[in-house]
Chains A and B, each alone.
Chain A
Amino acid sequence: MDFNFTEEQLALKDTLRRFVRKEYSFEHRRQAMASRHGFDRDAWNTFAELGLLGLPLQESLGGLGGTAVDSMVVMEILGEALSLEPFLSSSLLCGSVLNAVPVTATLQELAAQMMTGRHIMALAHYEPGSRYDLAQVSTTATATAGDWVISGSKSVVLGAPNADTVIVSARTPGGVSLFLVDSRAPGLAMRPYATQDGLRAADLILERVTVPRQSLLAPEGDGLKLVEQALDTATAALCAEAVGIMDRLNQTTVEYLKTRKQFGTMIGKFQALQHRMAEMVVATEQARSMAIMAAIKVSSTERAERAAAISAAKAYVGNQARFVGQQAVQLHGGIGVTDELDVAHYFKRLTMIGHTFGDYDHHIARFAEAL
């Protein structure tokens, strides 16, 4: 039993935290959000220099082969900073897919480009009618002479507007398969938008998008298994991000309780608010425990064990995050619901994390199935 981070993890945490505190202020983030790409290219390049972008990629691809605990360390800090950069959607999610497929020279080249930050990827799996059900894939890929022809719709593809390559899942005779698709491929129409927490995403319509034979990633029919595993990895990371945000909200709210005065006294003297704040801390610590559990169990080779652990963590953390987010706003009063303060933005991100890769009901159902 050892709940300590390694020296390397502590150093990474410290370096990254110093960087975001210095270079990624709330105002800086606001500007990045309003920019064309919706994130900060310079920060992204720094992530590359710090080795973050190679961390989730395995060594056979030229990556650093980091663990899920390493990712947890990174995501907590990115949560604190409300980072807009596509670390989750590109490096972690697509990185997890690439880690699990047979290594080729093409993939090694792609991975090298990802690590420098020059190449961004997105995973297009969910579809308009699928909700959070991974098995509902209507997009099809048909083999022709030397190509695959892909048609269908994909919804809420995180990071897609900035992606160079999109991993698209599609039904083939052998099951669900994954394809590498150039984001500028003819026939691929993209409807880009900002998300409710300031990230970028898009809906895609593919109309006879033609990709070469070798764009098929992994053996035909392995797609569902790969996507589920990648989403579980990303979900564990999301839990860590949520914990990072909850920590920040708790700090900010305690600070506010100590400074805001009403009825001639600081509002932190009111027992009702003290107890609420105490409950927020309890919720955060419980969530942290689940995020740790998720980071450890996501590497389990037993699919059922992994799925149960990740879903338990996502449902549980989601519920605690909902409580902490709502109460941080409530304890701030009116200014908690303004755009001006970071509190509202942390609250928005926590809310959207709750709806990303499956909501509470989806994950409690998946966990309950394993009981």
Chain B
Amino acid sequence: MDINFTAEEEDFRSQIRAFIDANLPPSIARKVLDGRRLGSQDYVTWQRILAAHGWGAPAWPQQFGGTGWNAVQQYIFEEECADAGAPKQLPFGLKMVGPVIMAFGNQTQQDRFLPHIIDAGDWWCQGYSEPGSGSDLASLKTKAVRHGDHYVVNGQKTWTTLGQHADWIFCLVRTSTEVRAQEGISFLLIDMKTPGITVRPIIMVDGEPEVNEVWFDDVRVPVENLVGEENKGWTYAKFLLGHERTGIAGVGRSKRELKTLKAMAARQLVRGRPLMDDIRFRDRVAHVEMELMALEITNLRVISADRQRGRPGPEASILKIKGSEIQQQLAELKMQTLGHYALPRIEEGLEADWQGDPLMPDYPLQAPAATGTYYSNRKVSIYGGTNEIQKNIISQMILGL
């Protein structure tokens, strides 16, 4: 039993850190660390910097252009990126559609799509959820009917994150109504420029247009964009959902947020003393830090168990539940550090070049994003399977209840 990283792993960490120090644009890191708005170009820029170094796909095997890193190396990489304030590598291509194309796509699809996931030539988005099917994904209704060498797609997807920038969408569509709900679903790749697609932003609780509704009105999709077999889409979707679990807990990002929280709390004063020295507040920070310590080790245990077993297990639900709760608590505490300065909504304070307001000299630079982030982070216990669904999975898959 040893919970420490090996000397080789520590050496790997140093290499990663040195690369990030030398290559992550400080202007982008500043935005991430202060919670400012990221533009689509910020994600693309960082992805291309990584791709140019051969690190564009940390979780992929080398035959598809990936790094071939093992799960521990990927974990270290994500942690270092998060700590430095690198934008998150977008999961839609790298962690979602990419692995499905690798496992079930044909050679043509692999050659066409995989390289441009790595070099950010294609921006992908996810077409799973529908207005009527949230946790109950299999009840989806978007229909694809085959006409000659095309599918004609009609229906509506929702919660399509960053779909406003997307070149492609991967969709679960219903190709048969004759069979059990799970058996009539297919996995289609759809060019967002196809006529008949309408994207409408959904304004979220923090005022940001992060997700979208995507409407399909007689959208013609070439049959060669079907991944795998018709009506087998549910199998691929399940594969996708269970595939990438090293990042689900968000440990790296939460460790960074904890650091930011402590720094903010050290600067805010309560009766002339740092908030961080206030026993009530300090205990709150201690509580969440303990949770995070436990989660970090649980995460590494799950990674290690997955590796020994050769496939992911239902323990990922533990990571999702605890990871989301910790992210929410950290956001709440950051907001709480601000005291009454949690109240102002300083719109321009979300822009990268905002340097503070001369009429509010004591209003912290991290303050404008804090309350909105707390609001917005309520979503993390909802998306990707609500925490209630995760508990169902634990009850059924781990406990056999």
Contacts and interface: CB of A to CB of B under 8 A. Distances in A.
Interface in A258-274: 261-263, 270, 272-273
A203 interface: yes
A136 B375 contact: no
Contacts of A326: 378
Contact of B202 (A191, A263, A338): A338
Interface string B154-171: 000011000000000000
B371 interface: yes
B359 A337 contact: no
Contacts of B90: none
Contacts of B383: 334
A326 B387 CA distance: 13
A333 interface: yes
A325 to B, nearest CB: 9
Interface in B261-300: 268-272, 275, 278, 280-281
Nearest to B360: A203
B343 A272 contact: no
A333 B134 contact: yes
Nearest to B359: A191
Contacts of B269: 129, 131
B204 A330 contact: no
A156 interface: yes
A339 B343 contact: no
The residue among A131, A155, A351 with the most chain B CB atoms within 10 A of its own CB is A131
22 contacts: A128-B360, A128-B363, A131-B268, A132-B340, A136-B272, A155-B340, A155-B360, A156-B340, A156-B343, A193-B345, A193-B346, A196-B343, A196-B345, A262-B135, A272-B391, A329-B378, A330-B381, A334-B129, A352-B343, A355-B336, A359-B339, A365-B280
Given A131-B269, A272-B388, A338 B341 contact: no
Given A128-B361, A193-B345, A262-B139, A344 B202 contact: no
B280 A348 contact: no
B340 to A, nearest CB: 4
B205 interface: yes
Interface residues of B, number: 54
Interface of B: 129, 132-136, 139, 158-159, 202-205, 207, 268-272, 275, 278, 280-281, 335-336, 338-346, 357, 359-363, 371-372, 374-376, 378-379, 381-383, 386-388, 391
Q: Summarize A's interface: helix, strand, loop or mixed.
A: mixed
Contacts of B371: 196, 351-352
B300 to A, nearest CB: 29
Given A155-B362, A334-B158, A355 B379 contact: no
B270 to A, nearest CB: 6
Given A262-B135, A340-B202, A365-B280, A196 B378 contact: no
A128 B358 CA distance: 13
B342 A355 contact: yes
Contact of B205 (A272, A330, A348): A348
A191 B129 contact: no
A195 B343 contact: yes
A128 B363 CA distance: 8
A344 B381 contact: no
A348 B375 contact: yes
A351 B377 CA distance: 13
Interface string A329-357: 11001101111100010011001100110
A327 to B, nearest CB: 10
Given A153-B362, A261-B132, 15 more contacts: A128-B361, A128-B363, A129-B362, A133-B270, A156-B341, A190-B359, A195-B343, A195-B344, A262-B135, A334-B134, A337-B204, A351-B335, A355-B339, A355-B342, A355-B343
A201 interface: yes
A337 B205 contact: yes
